[in-house]
Chains A and B, each alone.
Chain A
Amino acid sequence: QSALTQPASVSGSPGQSITIPCTGTNTDVGGSIHVSWYQQHPGKAPKLMIFAVSNRPSGVSNRFSGSKSGNTASLTISGLQAEDEAEYYCSSYTTINTRVVFGGGTKLTVL
């Protein structure tokens, strides 16, 4: 059981927007600015899409945005494209038993 909770799947049509929530506790998401999001295509390593809640690394499309409210962080993808279909994981700094915890992943299907 992952420390951070994500829905198993979400879907959307090309051009639409979707939001993926990531729920933790006040010992991780709620108490940290170090919340990140990763995109992973099958057989590939994860790719950093968002760090520090809402910052995009150089080269990541501005269609990807992040936010946080209380113990829940969110990744929003606007203008869905076929290549966005992938697994998405959130992560957070934590004060309990380890340094970084991950969510269980959300499979995004572009219809």
Chain B
Amino acid sequence: QVQMQQSGPGLVKPSETLSLSCAISGDTVSNNRAAWSWIRQSPSRGLEWLGRTYYRSKWYNDYAVFVNSRITINADTSKNQLSLQLKSVTPEDTAVYYCARDPPQANDAFDMWGQGTMVTVSS
């Protein structure tokens, strides 16, 4: 049974960096047939895929263009977790953030999700 447990602050000040972690159990972040994404959801912008990391003999990342200059997604194999950093946040980045698994058998579909972290950007 795959589980994804998110952690991180729920309040970030404007212009600062949003940092979240997602601990994985029941699978490994270096699974060479899966990918690991961050997705956010807000009332104004709906569901938005932010980016992903995956391992295929080496690590790769893909990011959505609209956050490409501000986002970093990393995998920590020693802790079996992935992380999200989003720099220079504004109130527009206020959303529920999810980590999610893209499994081997379902390209670009997400079969396991973290519990979600509500992040508010406010001073």
A45-B115, A57-B111 known; A100-B106 Cβ under 8 A: no
B46: which of A55, A93, A98, A105 is its contact (CB, 8 Å)?
A: A105
Q: B11-19, B61-69, B85-93: which one contacts chain A?
A: B61-69
Residues of A within 8 Å of B66, CB to CB, are: 97-98
A45-B115, A98-B66 known; A36-B46 Cβ under 8 A: no
Residues of B within 8 Å of A105, CB to CB, are: 46-47
B110: which of A46, A52, A97, A104 is its contact (CB, 8 Å)?
A: A46
- The number of residues on chain A lying at the interface, defined by a beta carbon within 8 Å of a beta carbon of chain B, is 25
A55: which of B37, B62, B64, B106 is its contact (CB, 8 Å)?
A: B106
Q: CB of B55 within 8 A of chain A?
A: no
A48: which of B48, B65, B111, B114 is its contact (CB, 8 Å)?
A: B111
- Number of residue pairs A-B, CB distance < 8 angstroms: 66
**Chain B residues touching A, range:** 20 to 34
Complex interface residues of chain A between 74 and 110 (CB less than 8 A to chain B): 89, 91-93, 97-105
A2-B46, A46-B47 known; A52-B106 Cβ under 8 A: yes
What 5 pairs across the A-B complex have the smallest Cβ distances? A51-B109, A45-B113, A102-B47, A51-B106, A98-B64
Residues of A within 8 A of B (CB): 2, 34, 36, 38, 45-48, 51-52, 55, 57, 89, 91-93, 97-105
